[in-house]
Structure formats: C-alpha cells, structure tokens
Amino acid sequence: MQFEPKDQFEQRQRKLEKIVQAGHPAFPHEFRWSATPAELAAKYAQTTAAELEANKVDATIAGRIVSYRLMGKAGFAHVQGGGGRLQIYVRKDVVGERGFELFHLLDLGDLIGARGHLFRTKTGELSLWVEELTFLSKALLPLPEKWHGLTDVELRYRQRYVDLIANEESRRVFLTRAKIVQELRRFFDDRGYIEVETPMMHAIPGSAAARPFVTHHNTLDIDLYLRIAPELYLKRLVVGGLDRVYEINRNFRNEGISTQHNPEFTMLEFYEAYSNYQDLMKMNERMLAQLATKITGSTVVKYGELALDFGRIERLSMREAICKYWPAAAGVAPTVEELAAAGGAKAVTERYNAWAKSAHAPYAAAKGTLSDGEWTGLLFETMAENKLLQPTILYDFPTDISPLSKQKPDDPSLTERFEVYIAGMEIANGFSELNDPSEQERRFLAQIARGGDEVPKQLDLDYVRALCYGLPPTAGEGIGIDRLTMLLTDSHSIRDVILFPQLRPEAQQEAEPKSEGHGA
C-alpha cells in the first residue's frame, strides 16, 4: 500500500508506529463523546469566561484536527466535528508525559478524542481545557494544502471524502439535499400518501424513452434491465387499491453525462387516484413555494444571476411557449392556430431552420419522418426550452410524444400532460394517466414499431392486463431530486449535488434526448 505524496505517507506511518509503541491502540474500537464541537460552539457562544469558571462545564468531544500549534510544554489545536470546530488546549502538566507525547505525534487530519472542561482563552476564544487525550485514527495522507479546501473539481468528485472534510460548502449542499428529501416526504405523508418500493430490475424496460442498462440473472438465465422509471409498477399499485402512493427511487439511463445528466439519478414519483393533471399543477404550485420557503427561508431563490420566484409560477402551453420565445429576427412569430393546423408545425420548423442556418443559431434537426406532434416537440426543445428561466409549468403536450398520457377530450392531438421548468431545466413531468387498456396497447405497439435504442422492444402485456382490471382516473408525476437540489443550493452541475457521480476520463457534455416518462 503506497499513496502520493510518498514522503508524507511514510512519515505518518512512522508516527503511527511510535503511537502504538507508546501504548495507544492504532485503531480503537469505540469512543464515547458527550457533545460535538459544533454543538458546544453553538450552545456556549455567548457564555462569558467568568460564567464558565463559576459553573464548570465538563465535555468530551471527538473529531478531526484541522489546525495545530505547539508552544513548548503546551499547545493548541482545532478539532472539527458535527459541522463545526472547537479549540482545544493541551498542557503537559495536565495530560501527563504520555498524553503530551501523543499530542506531539499528531498531524493535521488525525482523529482524536478529548475530555476536559470549557474555558475562554485570553483572546476570548471558547476552548476545551484537555484533561485526557485519546488517539482514534491516523490520517496517513495530508489534507489539502493549508486547509484552503480541495480546489481541483475533478478530484473533488473522485475523492468526495476529502471534499467533505475540506470544503464546508460541499457539506452544506448535501445536508440541504437531505432536508429537501425530508420535506418532500413530509409533504406527501401529510396528504395521505404511502411510501412504497418497487423493483429496480425489470424484465421489460419501459416507462420512458431511454436506453437502459442491461444485466443478466444467472439462475433464471434471463436478461434484466435497471429501471428507467418506476411508473408502470406504481400504477399497478393504484389498480390494486393503493390510491395515493409515492416512491423516492434511483433510476438508471445509459446515456450521456453533462452538467444536468448523470446515468444514475434520484426521482420522487407519485400517483393520486381520482385526480387529473390540473390537480397536480395546483399541487406543484403549493409544493414548490412551500419547499423553497422551508429550505431557503423565502420563495425567491438565488440561482447564479437569477432570482427565481417559486411563489409565482407561469403557465404556458407548449405551442404558446414556441410563439412567446420565437426569435424576433426569424420573422413574424407563428400563432397557436398555425402550429395546431395539419402540417403547420413542420412548416414553422422549416421557417425557423431557414433563419437558424443563416444566423448560426441552434438547428432543429429531424431524424426520419416526424408527425405533427413530434415536429412541435422538436421545435420547442430547440428554440424555447432554455428560455424558461423563471418557474414555469408547460402543459398540453402532443399525443405523439406522450404515449402514457390521457388525451384531451376536446383535442385528441394533445394530452393532459405538463412539465415544470426552472432555469431552463426540466424539473418535473406529470400527466393524467392513460387508463384505457386498448388505447394503451395500441400506443405501446406503435412505439415499438417506430424502433430505436430508446424504446421498448416488447409489449408489457402484464401492465395492459393490470389496466383491464380497472385503473381509476389517476394523475401522476416524477420530480428530479438532483436538479431540484441544484436550484435550491445554487449548484450549477449535477455532480455537485450527487455524492459519488459517474465520471469519465475526460470532460464531455452531450445533449440527451427528451423522455416522456415521469421525471428528469
């Protein structure tokens, strides 16, 4: 075992040998502490030196040494634990020869335990007067230089354990992420939902248009697919009478990596019987405003240069968004009626592409023959999606790109589907669920017939059979936890909010195709 920097690694190994020779276990089995450094620092922040002297406060702490200085027969160090730090004061005539020898053999990054009482130094800093010092673990590798933090971004992702030690901001992000999940659970629990777990390995990949990861079960001798989304299993539960269900789950898509995409990601997906997409749009407005307030203290959230107002969510149909964000230089903006007419979306896209080619703007490149609905979706993604900066609910998606959504009664070319966009990112995807088994089978078969790596290769007949037992009118939605965390922590890469993101040998960002299954 050998790691760089080699000289410091070997030097610290020799110190560990001396610590063991002095009678201290190299790797103790336990240590009992009474409070964390962070708790003591917060609780006694306003307590004066006189009060601490009059009312002795005994404490035992454990943590990592993050600063260290010797001064003859005494020394100071800062111990970090629980998200904060506390200074300790060690005197040879108090801890004894053996204890002070141990203090001499410590390095930055070592883990120790210290028992003593609180006092304030002459400079007024709250500190622990150490009466007993316990060795807990040696850091054989040094912490980032001068404790300025780990600044190599790639290294931060690969060695998250060092990043969490060295960068307080990283710790804050992941504590906030945990709080976001807690608040979302509370929101749904308070509304009578039950949390469930569904399979992560599927015999048939489905629920969204995405390329799956494939594995093999040796005993059964069958291929299985890591789930793209839990949608079809959750709707089976609604058929079974669990009227309000949700799952916080890991999904896997064998696709590109970018600042917004990771092959393994976290979603909250939920279903509510006897509701439709209008009900969920209203719920999203309440939920997002409440969540932003709980996490940041306000409905207005800073994200880079943007001030995102979670308390005011705009609603636009997909066709309205295209009209609203049509480039002025591309000529007269199309109308909703023009986009809705037969062949209209293709004609509008061709008009946009003619301008984009000369203006070197993003080009709506079509693969194969597209339907009117597919042209609409392609045009929206090309020229309007990244313009949705303030929280926006985009609704009424074309049926052609929404195989699991219920059609609008007054316009079968559209479905009762919506997505939530914030800062140009899709955060959530929901719709009134298609519950007609015949229509669902027809759409599945049409999807399979179109072919491609990102669509199912076989019909999920068991799901169609489940619908034959009767799925009540139901609305469902998937929310991307990672992207939501990005917004609420002012993080601009998905890798900053995933503890151990998937990494490539060299940086590469790829555009990823849209998927209609719930979530991002």
Which tokens in the block code for residue 381?
């993604």
Check: CB of residue 176 under 8 Å from CB of residue 192.
Answer: no
pLDDT in the model for residue 512: 43
Which tokens in the block code for residue 37?
């450094």
Report the chain's mean pLDDT, rounded to a whole number: 93
What would the mean pLDDT of 4-30 be, rounded to a whole number? 95
Which tens digits make up the pLDDT trace of 411-447?
999 999 999 999 999 999 999 999 999 999 998 898 8
DSSP 26: S
DSSP 5: S
6-137: CATH homologous superfamily?
Nucleic acid-binding proteins (2.40.50.140)
pLDDT band at residue 176 using 50, 70 and 90 as cut-offs: very high
**Residues forming a β-bridge with 266:** 250
Q: Specify the pairing of strand 194-195 against strand 111-120.
A: unpaired
Check: CB of residue 148 under 8 Å from CB of residue 471.
Answer: no
Phi, psi of 306 (to 5 degrees): -90, 150
Residue 511 has pLDDT above 50, yes or no: no
pLDDT band at residue 518 using 50, 70 and 90 as cut-offs: low
What would the mean pLDDT of 201-230 be, rounded to a whole number? 90
Q: Is 256 helix (H, G, I), strand (E, B) or coil?
A: coil
**Residues forming a β-bridge with 393:** 315, 420
Which tokens in the block code for residue 386?
């990244």
Residue 449 has pLDDT above 90, yes or no: no
Residue-range domain boundaries for the chain: 6-137, 170-313+420-496
Phi, psi of 34 (to 5 degrees): -100, -25
* Cα dihedral 493→495→496→499 (10° resolution): 160
pLDDT in the model for residue 210: 83
172-178 long-range CB contacts below 8 Å, 24 or more apart?
172/489, 173/485, 173/489, 173/491, 173/496, 173/497, 174/497, 174/499, 175/83, 176/295, 176/485, 176/488, 176/489, 177/481, 177/485, 177/489, 177/497
pLDDT in the model for residue 505: 66
Helix axes 461-468, 437-450, angle to 10 degrees: 160
211-219 long-range CB contacts below 8 Å, 24 or more apart?
211/253, 211/254, 211/255, 211/453, 211/454, 212/252, 212/253, 212/254, 213/252, 213/253, 213/254, 213/263
Weakest-pLDDT range from 82-86, 107-111, 213-217, 452-456: 452-456
**Residues forming a β-bridge with 414:** 398
Check: CB of residue 480 under 8 Å from CB of residue 176.
Answer: no
Determine the Cα–Cα distance for residues 79 and 398; give it in Å rounded to an integer. Answer: 59
More confident residue, 406 or 208: 406
Single out the residue of 79, 151, 71 nearest to residue 108, CA to CA.
Answer: 79
Contacts of 488 (CB under 8 A, 6+ apart): 176, 180, 291, 292, 295, 296, 301
Determine the Cα–Cα distance for residues 306 and 310; give it in Å rounded to an integer. Answer: 12
Which tens digits make up the pLDDT trace of 458-504?
889 999 999 999 999 999 999 999 999 999 999 999 999 999 999 86
pLDDT band at residue 150 using 50, 70 and 90 as cut-offs: low
Rg (CA), the chain: 29
Same-fold call for 6-137 versus 170-313+420-496: no
170-313+420-496: CATH homologous superfamily?
Bira Bifunctional Protein; Domain 2 (3.30.930.10)
What percent of the chain is predicted at pLDDT more than 70?
A: 94
What would the mean pLDDT of 17-24 be, rounded to a whole number? 97
Q: What is the pTM of this model?
A: 0.91
